[in-house]
Structure formats: structure tokens, C-alpha cells
Amino acid sequence: MKENKFIYLYEDSFEELLYIFDYLIKRNLTPLDIVKEKDYVPNLLDPTIFLKKETKENMQNKYLNKTSKKIMFVIKDIYLSNACHKELISYYFLRNALKYQETIFYRKNLKCVNMALNISHYVRRETHKMKGFLRFQEIQNHILYAKMAPENNIIFALANHFKERLKNEIWIIHDVKRHIYAIYKENKIYFLQEEKNPIIKMTDEEKEIEHLWKSFFQAVGIEERENKRCQMSFMPKKYWRYLIEMEDENENNCNWKNVN
């Protein structure tokens, strides 16, 4: 592999990222880094190259044919994660995947493979947790609205889960960190990016139901077995902010207001 001293910038999409990978693999290059264009903080030392996809070829299909579904899922997971240098990690993972194919999953002694699989695992685990921790509130017109602030960008997987589950509802999932909305209506999910916050009106009935849930939550815990540490390790504090049953604890311990 040839060393080169460039930082490659890409426009934020999975296709564009794969195009850079493709470009680098063809020329057998080792970049200094690969960074999302809008996240890049310029400095004087490192030269940058901004690459934009020029061919009509579908990169996803190309690499799906060259590797496998399972490998592409890992690369997609990494793309959606918030890990540092995730592009570089997934680039090396892809290179190794082309070489080792399916057996890549057993080669955890390779640093990049190990890191890549750990990131992918983290994204999937968070998706699974969020399926449980997401809380909808009923707002105007019986629309269900849920806020969340996960570490990774997991809204696409979540939306698919609720599409099947809450078929006959209209619902909105709002990723507060990334300002992405997933809106579901009549069997279709629409994703949109919007910085403005919507105006939410909560009904009295909604408050009653939330109260009912809190009462249940209190009643179902066994006093004699209290184990807050265990509770916290399964349900880390970072998720408490939008959990209705933890509201009282939030007021006591956390200064969420200062964060936002």
C-alpha cells in the first residue's frame, strides 16, 4: 500500500463514502484520514482533497457483489455510528473483507477488524435498547411523538421496527441530536432534516396516562431487593432524559437544562 498524506473529504452520504473507498482501493492508497466535509476543521498542515462521485455506477451494489450482505451491513453500521475515525476503520475493514471474505468475522486479531466489529456491535446494541427505551406521547390529532438522543444515528432501523408494530398510527420519531425526523403515515416512512422544533400540545388525558405508568413503575419494584446500581447498568443515565418514569430522578440528580 502506498502511503499518502492527504485527507479525503466526502459529502455526507453512504454512496459518496463508498466512492472514496473505491477510488482509494483502485489506486492502492493509504490516506491520512477520511472526513465528512461539513465536519472538517481546516488546518494549515494537512492538504485535503474533496472527492465527489463521478460515475453512475451503484457503489453499494458493486461492493455487495464483491463481498457479502453481512459485510456490507457492518460497513453501514459503522457509517451510522459516532465513532472517531470511523471512515478509516471501515476503509481498512473493507480492504480486509475483500481479501478474507466471510472469514473476516473470525479474524479479530487484526486491529481494524476488531474495532470495526466492535463499533457495529455497539450500533446494533443501541438500536435494540432504543426499541425499548423510546417513549411516545400523544399530541394533537392522536399523533404519537417521541424524542430521543442516541449516541449513534439509529433512526432508520428504529423507524422500520415501529412501522410493523404501530401500523395503524401516525407517529413521529425525533432525533434531537441530529435534527432528523422519521414520520410515519399510512404504511410510508418519510425522513426529513429540520432544525426547528415542533409545537407540541399535550392533552390532559396524556398526563393521566403518564401518571398511571409512573404509578405502575413504582409499584412493580420490590423494596427489599432495591439495587439502583443494577438498574443503572441496564438503563444508563444518558437515556433517562426522555424516560417518563425517570422524570422525578432527573429533577433530583441531573442538570439537563444546562446541557441544552
Binding site for another protein (CB under 8 A): 103, 105-109, 111, 114, 118, 128, 131-138, 144, 146, 162, 164-169, 209, 211-213, 215-231, 233-235, 243-245
> Is the torsion defined by CA of 114, 116, 122, 125 positive or negative?
negative
Element (H, E) at 10: strand 7-10
Please, which residues bridge with residue 226 across strands?
none
Q: What is the nearest approach in angstroms of another protein to the Cβ of residue 60?
A: 27
Q: What is the nearest approach in angstroms of another protein to the Cβ of residue 180?
A: 18
Look at the block and give the residue holding cell 409499584.
219
Q: Which is nearer to another protein, 168 or 193 (CB)?
A: 168
Q: Which three cell numbers stand for residue 159?
A: 423507524
Q: What is the nearest approach in angstroms of another protein to the Cβ of residue 159?
A: 13
Q: What is the nearest approach in angstroms of another protein to the Cβ of residue 1?
A: 21
CA distance 243 to 221: 16
Q: Which is nearer to another protein, 13 or 101 (CB)?
A: 101
Q: Report whether 116 contacts 78 (CB < 8 A).
A: yes
Q: State the CB neighbour count (10 A cutoff) for residue 20.
A: 22
Q: Which is nearer to another protein, 19 or 136 (CB)?
A: 136
Q: Which is nearer to another protein, 52 or 111 (CB)?
A: 111
Gyration radius from the chain CA atoms: 22
Q: Kindly give the residue spans of alpha helices, DSSP state H, lying in 204-246.
A: 204-220, 228-234
Q: What is the nearest approach in angstroms of another protein to the Cβ of residue 117?
A: 9
Cα 18 to Cα 14, 31, 75, 123, 128: the distances in Å are 6, 14, 10, 19, 26
Q: Which is nearer to another protein, 7 or 170 (CB)?
A: 170
Q: What is the nearest approach in angstroms of another protein to the Cβ of residue 171?
A: 9
Look at the block and give the residue holding cell 472526513.
35
Q: Which is nearer to another protein, 6 or 105 (CB)?
A: 105
Q: Assign 15 to helix, strand or coil.
A: helix
Burial of residue 89 (CB within 10 Å: 0-12, 13-18, 19+) is buried
